[in-house]
Amino acid sequence: SFAGRMAFRPAYVLSLEALRVGPVLALQTMVLSMFMHGGLMHIGGNMLFLWVFGDNVEDRLGHFGFLLFYLACGIVATLAHSLAAGVGLLYDPGSLDRAIVGASGAVAGVLGAYLVLFPGSSVRTLVFFFIITVINVPAIFFIAIWFITQLFSGVGSLAGVPGGVAYWAHIGGFVLGFVWGRAIGKRPYKRPPPRVIDLQ
């Protein structure tokens, strides 16, 4: 299938398969696999995080800058997952041939940049505690907890703990986003004027 051909496999960069595939197709699958997902929950979760955090980061980077940033985070995330899959060969001989899809690594990069650029922001969060309510959670707390969870799960995956999530893609994308955000945060920033739509 087209989805199967365009999904990325770590073997494309870490085995003799890389000689057959070549760097162009390997990079192509890295990019195209970001736009494919494993189901509605997968794409829904990614789009929710992108909707909450992405617009502010795009505001700082500009439309084209954000596109480059997003793709770079996705590619680095894929490479980070590939390295982890290489370590996984110690206990899982098929780790390099397991296809991955999804934008989670790129979205993780958005979270990393947001953490640096908007540390004082809050996130309105739906919580279930006896009653269902909405509370404001500091973004730095929300994102830090998310990253720590990914880090512990990623270390567990290297130790052979079973799981179907590419935790190291999340970690790799987040780290690049954090570093990118640090670089951008040092630049002077003037917030653009609000967009006005004339309905007359």
pLDDT of residue 126 exceeding 70, the answer is no
The reply to whether the predicted model has a pTM over 0.75 is yes
> How much is the average pLDDT of 133-153?
85
The gap from C-alpha 191 to its chain's centroid, in whole angstroms, comes to 26
- Please check the confidence at residue 20 and state whether its pLDDT lies above 70: yes
pLDDT (tens digit per residue) in 60-87: 999 999 999 999 999 999 999 999 888 8
CA gap 34, 103 in Å, rounded:
4
Alpha helices in 89-166 (DSSP H): 104-117, 139-158
119 close to 185: Cβ distance less than 8 angstroms: no
pLDDT in tens, 146-195: 999 999 999 888 776 656 788 999 999 999 999 999 998 766 555 544 44
The helix-helix angle for 17-32 and 63-88 (nearest 10°) equals 140
Tell me the residue type at 55: D
Using alpha carbons, select from 197, 16, 154 the residue that is nearest to residue 97: 16
Q: Rounded distance, CA 99 to CA 111, Å?
A: 24
Specify the higher pLDDT residue, 98 or 69: 69
Rounded Cα distance between 105 and 182, Å, is 18
How far apart (Å, rounded) are the C-alpha atoms in residues 33 and 58?
22
